[in-house]
Amino acid sequence: MNPKWYREFFREMGIEYEDYAFTKNTEKEVEWMIKEYLKNPEMKILDVGCGTGRHAISLATKGYRNITGIDLSPSMIKAAKKVAKRKNVRVDFRVCDARELSFENKFDAVLCLCEGAFGLLENDNENYKILRVVHRSLKKHGIFILTTLNLFRDEKFNPMTCRSHLEVEIVQKDGQKKTIACSDRSYTFPELKWVLEQYGFKVLLGANPFSKEEISYGTMEFMIVSEKS
Q: Which of 36-40, 54-58, 129-133, 150-154 has the weakest average pLDDT? A: 150-154
Which helix (H) or strand (E) is 193 found in, with range?
A: helix 189-198
What predicted TM-score, i.e. pTM, was given to this entire model? 0.88
Buried b (16+ CB within 10 A) or exposed e, 181-194: ebbbbbbbbeebee
**Digit-coded pLDDT (tens) for 63-94:** 999 999 999 988 889 999 999 999 999 999 99
Q: Which domains does the chain have, with CATH numbers?
A: 5-228 (3.40.50.150)
**Digit-coded pLDDT (tens) for 151-183:** 999 788 899 999 988 777 766 666 677 787 788
Residue of 169, 166, 198, 160 lying closest to 181 (CA atoms): 166
Residue 103: exposed, middle, or buried by beta-carbon count in 10 A (0-12, 13-18, 19+)?
middle
Q: What DSSP line would sit under 52-88, residue for residue? A: TTHHHHHHHHTT---EEEEES-HHHHHHHHHHHHHTT
